[in-house]
Amino acid sequence: MSLLIQPQKQKIYQSISAESAGWTWLNFETRLMGPLETWTYDTGEHEMVIVLLSGNYKVESNRGNWETGNGRKNVFQGVAHTLYLPRKTQFTLTSTSDTLDIAYCWCKADHDFEPHLITPEKTPSVIFGGDNATRQFNDLIPPGFACSRIVCREVYTPSGNWSSFPAHKHDERIVNDRGQLQEAQLEEIYFYKFQEPEGYAIQQIYTKDDKNPLDEILRARHNDAVLVPKGYHPVAAAHGYHCYYLNFLAGSDQSLANTTDSDYEWIFDSWKQKDPRLPLVTPAMNNQ
């Protein structure tokens, strides 16, 4: 399977199963819905995270009911609403806006947890990095969240900046002599959006393994998805267009423990300032 998945011209415009990706845990879809259109689903033995990209919805389920009222107009005009649903949840989601755009992932869960709607104002946001590697993290489902495996983050990279850099990997589970987790084995999907359809980002996926090397350079466009099965995976946003990507991860641990490419660790100490263009989005924008 190609590492770059282009969108389809249909309501479910991205659909990636663990089976089709050739991995164990992570499944992913994006869905466009019209006014009052419904989607009914049973999570079964899986937990699920639904990220509101634009529009509004209501959800009725056997575990509770939720409704959004200040969903963003697009990913560059506010912060996501994020709905976590545990296994054995039967729900119906109804679009309450002219257009609804959602992304969601699911994976097998080991335990039962409480459902939870995380609103924009309750979503932690961090300005990370420096100079032209500054970016904004919105931690939708951060490490430590009460779930089995899923981690979810949306990242805003200003025009011309680097992201996921210095490059890191999380393709093997490493525990040190004190029993502390140093690196988790995680499957990951990058889902991209740009302010204009001609915008794009360059993503590299590479390993330092001589026995089974991987070195791919991909041009990710609006609504494209990139699979990260292993290796380091830096991103550069094309000049002129701010870049958004949504990360879904699942694997050995509900964690983002990773290993930095040692060739570039020195860069952490080189940054002099933060990019003043950030933050690109705030919860206040949801109400505009």
Sheet with 46-54, edge to edge strand ranges: 12-16, 27-33, 100-108, 46-54, 82-85, 116-118
Closest to 7 measured CA to CA, from 202, 220, 199: 220
Return the number of other C-beta atoms located less than 10 Å from residue 210's C-beta. Answer: 6
Residue 20 DSSP class: H
| Domains located in the chain, CATH noted | 4-275 (2.60.120.10)
Per-residue pLDDT in tens (0 to 9) along the chain, 288 residues: 689 999 999 999 999 999 999 999 999 999 999 999 999 999 999 999 999 999 999 999 999 999 999 999 999 999 999 999 999 999 999 999 999 999 999 999 999 999 999 999 999 999 999 999 999 999 999 999 999 999 999 999 999 999 999 999 999 999 998 989 999 999 999 999 999 989 999 999 999 987 889 999 999 999 999 999 999 999 999 999 999 999 999 999 999 999 999 999 999 999 999 999 999 999 999 998
Outline where the chain has alpha helix (H): 18-21
